[in-house]
Each structure stands twice: as C-alpha cells, then as structure tokens.
C-alpha cells in the first residue's frame, strides 16, 4: 500500500515525499482510513511505529478539505502528557502542513505563558498541549475549546500513569459533545479501555503490534550484578564497548542526578533529564545528546516519554521499572524504524520480582550474563524495593522533597502565569505540579 492509495491530498503527499517516506507503516495503514471516514478510533502502537503521522496526516487532510472561519478558532486539540512529546507532535504537524494553509501552536508548562497566549490570539487551527497549561490558560479565558471538531489523546496510558484523569475529564467538559475522538496508547489496559468508553463513540479499534510485545530488532540482555556495583559495570560497558550514545533509565530524579555525576567523574559525558529540570536545561541536554556531544542521557520514565532519538543504539535499565509495561516503553527507544538496537538491564537481587513480572508480560525469558568482578551478592535480599522509593502508578516520578518538586520550572515562569489567589486552589496546585514534572 502507498500513501496515495490512502486518499490523502496532494499537499500532504508532497510533504510526506519531502520527508523521504514512501510507504505507510502498519499503524498508519490501519488508522488513517477510519480517521478519514470520520470514525472515532482507539489505536494501540508501540513507540517508534509512526503513530504520530497516523493521526496527524488524516487530521490535516480533514481540516484543509473543510476550511472554516477566517479568525481560526481552535478546531483540533492534541493532548499529550509531556513537554517533549508535545513539542515533537507539533513539529510533525508543522512538517506535514508545510504546503497547507494550516496554523498550529504548542503550549506546555515550565516556560512563560505570554508567547503561547499571543500565538493563540492570532488564531490557530491545531493546538498541541499538555493538560496543566491548557487548563491554566482556559481558566484565564485566554483560549476557547468550544469549536473543537477533533480531539486526540496521545499516550493515553502515560496520561493515566501521571494522574491526569481528572484534568482530562475537565477538558472534555469544555469541548462540544459532537466531535471526532482519537485515542492512541501503547497498551490496552483495563483503565485505558474504561477511559475509552467515556470518550469514544463506537470506535474502530486498531493495533499495529500485539499488546505489550517487544520489537524483534531489539537484542535484550540482563546483567545480574550487586547493587553497589551497578555504576562500575555501566562505566565498563560504555567504555569497553566504545558506546557513542546510550539512554539510561533510573527510577527516581535523585538517582538520575547521582548517576550522571558519577559518569562525568569517570570521564563519560552525560546529562540528566527529568521533571525537576527547567525546560531550558532539558532542551539543552537533549540537543547535546542528539548531536553527539553528550554520550549518555540519564532519564526517568516520565521525562523520556516522547523523546524521538533516531537510530539510538543502546538503552540501559540502570534500575528496572516497578511497572512492567514501562520496560516495553523504555526499550522501545531503540530498534526504531527497522534499525537494530540493544537493551540491557542491570538487575540486583531486590529487583528479581520485577524481572519475573517483565518476562511474564513480554512472554519470553531474557538472556542473563554475569561479568567477572561485578557478580551479584549471594547474600542480598530478593525482597522488592520498598514502596515509595520508586514511581507508583498515578503518582508520577515524585521527589521526596516537596519543596524541590514545587521549585521545578520556575526559571521560565510558572505553568499558571500570574493568577489571582482565588484560582490558586488545591487542584490547581496539583495540576501545576503534574505539568512541571513533564
């Protein structure tokens, strides 16, 4: 099948060709036709499968073929959980709409709201947003969602993980009841299906890959190691393997900072990316990683969702996630677009139950290796890490120090701007914390 056979307009085909794409990916092939038909869609696709184009292309086709008022009210809303993902999705909208008369912008917290509000006042057809900043601007009457015709919820599973359910419900209430709804998620959990039932109307369900499967192009390996020797083993793997680029996952923000410092002291260029970093610092770190100036990016799950890093060769779980599905998302950062990738996990005794849960989820045993000098401690407890030390579903990647958490993103202005005291209620504070984490 070709993009032409999907029925997309010539300006879109021109933009697709300019990007060098010739044939649609499985998720694009399955999702684009029902979206073009105006159907609600519930789609499941692993990261790196081209799902963003799966909803962006038919959305732009619809908007361009059905022009509306000249003052350009917001006709399409794309809601994402993180800043990086919002920026990435907006970039795709810009690239695919290059030859169309379509205006778009992106809004998220951690930066000054004034330029974002100004862009909306000038008129936009497509708005890409994170929940916190969207609701903040709406509460200030700086944007209206009364003309939204298409609502897209991207990375719905991560939305729920980060505690955005209440915000999603609030957004739903300020949009027209009659609209097209698209929901994209890496997994189809019970919570996702429940959310879908409340948003979608008789949806078409499409899946690009089996639920929670791992990409065949990714080589997976587990290194059994003593907890206190993980950093030394990681340095050895990077140095002796002459790795040029690796994305390393930790469970907490503090752990990411600590590991980054140790890597730098070992002569390895590294940078951390997580919710307590300002947007400027996150952007700078990601740019350095993509350009090759930084060899290792140390990240938490929430910050890494939405990172688009082409041909990333190595992903390392310095600590296994305590939510098994996150393992699939993590290693999905490599092995993208048909390229081969390696995913390695440094597993200590107290992570044994996490490993078993992951293997059960993906339906396979992962190869195990023990490196001489970094053997696991035979006397270490296999009891899992105590609750509260890692991220729990719905709670985000929280810092133990609430002051530290609340201070994130201040360098660029808070997510709510200058609001009256009457608006600074408990739910608003919670929402701003969520948006800053992203």
Contact 50, 310 (CB under 8 A): no
pLDDT of residue 307: 66
- CA-based torsion, 8, 9, 12, 18: positive or negative: positive
Q: Average pLDDT over the chain, rounded to whole?
A: 83
Compute CA 436 distance to the chain's CA centroid, rounded to the nearest angstrom: 14
DSSP-derived secondary structure letter, 347: E
pLDDT of residue 326: 82
pLDDT of residue 333: 76
Contact 305, 81 (CB under 8 A): yes
- In this structure, of 38-52, 68-82, 154-168, 417-431, the range with the lowest mean pLDDT score is 417-431
Q: How far apart are CA 415 and CA 433, in angstroms?
A: 9
DSSP-derived secondary structure letter, 383: P
Per-domain residue ranges of the chain: 4-207, 218-369
pLDDT of residue 336: 61
The mean pLDDT value for 169-178 works out to 95
Number of Cβ within a 10 Å radius of residue 197 = 11
Q: How far apart are CA 403 and CA 434, in angstroms?
A: 14
Query: N- to C-terminal Cα distance for the chain?
Result: 37
pLDDT: which is higher, 438 or 347: 347
Tell whether the model's pLDDT for residue 194 goes beyond 80.
yes
- In this structure, of 113-117, 342-346, 424-428, the range with the lowest mean pLDDT score is 424-428
Q: How far apart are CA 406 and CA 252, in angstroms?
A: 16
pLDDT of residue 411: 33
Q: Tens digit of pLDDT for each residue in 272-304?
A: 988 777 777 888 888 888 888 999 999 987 666
Q: How far apart are CA 143 and CA 188, in angstroms?
A: 32
Q: How far apart are CA 438 and CA 436, in angstroms?
A: 5
pLDDT of residue 335: 66
Edge-first strand listing for the sheet containing 314-317 = 270-273, 296-299, 246-249, 314-317, 341-347, 218-224, 367-369
Residue 48 confidence class, pLDDT cut points 50, 70, 90: low
Number of Cβ within a 10 Å radius of residue 260 = 23
Residue 305 confidence class, pLDDT cut points 50, 70, 90: low
pLDDT of residue 428: 44
Q: Tens digit of pLDDT for each residue in 394-409?
A: 333 333 333 333 333 3
Residue 425 confidence class, pLDDT cut points 50, 70, 90: very low
The mean pLDDT value for 7-26 works out to 91
The mean pLDDT value for 139-157 works out to 95
Q: How far apart are CA 57 and CA 8, in angstroms?
A: 8
pLDDT of residue 350: 94
Contact 34, 42 (CB under 8 A): no
- In this structure, of 45-49, 99-103, 190-194, 206-210, the range with the lowest mean pLDDT score is 45-49
Contact 22, 58 (CB under 8 A): no
Helix (H/G/I), strand (E/B), else coil: 174: coil
Using a pLDDT cut of 90, give the percent of the chain over it.
55
Helix (H/G/I), strand (E/B), else coil: 416: coil
CATH of 4-207, one of 3.40.470.10, 1.20.1730.10, 3.40.50.300, 3.40.1280.10: 3.40.50.300
Q: What global pTM score does this model have? A: 0.66
Burial class (CB within 10 angstroms; exposed 0-12, middle 13-18, buried 19+) of 384: middle
Q: Tens digit of pLDDT for each residue in 78-133?
A: 999 988 889 989 999 999 999 999 999 999 998 899 999 999 999 999 999 999 99
Cα radius of gyration rounded to whole Å, the chain: 22
Tell whether the model's pLDDT for residue 315 goes beyond 80.
yes
pLDDT of residue 72: 87
- Kindly report the CATH number that applies to the domain delimited by 218-369: 3.40.50.300
Q: How far apart are CA 363 and CA 216, in angstroms?
A: 13
pLDDT of residue 187: 74
pLDDT: which is higher, 412 or 230: 230
Backbone angles phi, psi at 104, to 5 degrees: -145, 160
Helix (H/G/I), strand (E/B), else coil: 352: helix
Backbone angles phi, psi at 330, to 5 degrees: -60, -55
Contact 285, 294 (CB under 8 A): yes
Does the fold of domain 218-369 match that of domain 4-207?
yes
Residue 192 confidence class, pLDDT cut points 50, 70, 90: confident
From 255, 234, 227, 223, select the one nearest 355 (Cα to Cα).
223
Contact 344, 315 (CB under 8 A): yes
- In this structure, of 237-241, 283-287, 345-349, the range with the lowest mean pLDDT score is 283-287
H or E stretch at 79: strand 76-79
Residue 42 confidence class, pLDDT cut points 50, 70, 90: very high
Q: Identify the bridge partners of residue 184 per DSSP, sorted by sequence position.
A: 43
């Amino acid at each position: 099948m070709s993009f032409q056979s999907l029925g997309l307009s010539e300006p879109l085909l021109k933009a697709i060709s300019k990007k060098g794409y010739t044939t649609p990916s499985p998720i694009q092939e399955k999702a684009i036709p029902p979206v073009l038909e105006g159907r609600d869609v519930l789609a499941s696709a692993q990261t790196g499968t081209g799902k963003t184009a799966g909803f962006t292309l038919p959305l732009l086709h619809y908007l361009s073929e059905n022009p509306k008022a000249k003052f350009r009210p917001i006709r399409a809303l794309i809601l994402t959980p993180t800043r990086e993902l919002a920026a990435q999705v907006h970039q795709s909208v810009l690239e695919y709409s290059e030859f169309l008369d379509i205006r778009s912008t992106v809004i998220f917290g951690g930066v000054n709201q004034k330029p974002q509000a100004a862009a909306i006042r000038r008129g936009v057809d497509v708005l890409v947003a994170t929940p916190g900043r969207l609701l903040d601007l709406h509460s200030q009457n700086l944007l209206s969602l009364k003309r939204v015709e298409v609502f897209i919820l991207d990375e719905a599973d991560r939305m729920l993980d980060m505690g955005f359910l209440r915000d999603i419900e609030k957004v739903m209430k300020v949009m027209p009841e009659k609209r097209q709804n698209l929901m994209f998620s890496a997994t189809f959990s019970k919570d996702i299906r429940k959310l879908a039932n409340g948003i979608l109307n008789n949806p078409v369900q499409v899946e690009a890959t089996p639920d929670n499967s791992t990409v065949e192009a990714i080589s997976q390996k587990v290194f059994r190691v003593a907890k206190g020797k993980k950093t030394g083993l990681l340095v050895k793997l990077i140095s002796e393997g002459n790795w040029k680029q690796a994305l390393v996952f930790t469970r907490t923000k503090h752990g990411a900072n600590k590991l980054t410092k140790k890597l730098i002291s070992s002569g390895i260029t590294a940078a951390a990316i997580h919710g307590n970093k300002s947007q400027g610092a996150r952007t700078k770190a990601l740019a350095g990683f993509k350009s090759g100036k930084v060899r290792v990016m140390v990240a938490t799950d929430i910050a890494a969702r939405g990172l688009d890093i082409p041909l990333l060769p190595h992903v390392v779980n310095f600590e296994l996630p305590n939510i098994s599905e996150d393992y699939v998302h993590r290693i999905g950062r490599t092995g993208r677009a048909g390229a081969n990738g390696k995913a390695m996990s440094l597993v200590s005794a107290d992570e044994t139950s996490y490993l078993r849960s992951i293997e059960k989820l993906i339906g396979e045993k992962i190869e195990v290796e023990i490196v001489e000098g970094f053997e696991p401690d035979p006397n270490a407890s296999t009891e899992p890490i105590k609750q509260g030390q890692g991220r729990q579903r719905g709670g985000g990647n929280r810092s133990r120090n609430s002051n530290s958490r609340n201070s994130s993103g201040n360098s660029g202005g808070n997510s709510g701007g200058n609001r009256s005291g009457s608006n600074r209620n408990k739910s608003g504070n919670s929402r701003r914390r969520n948006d800053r984490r992203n």
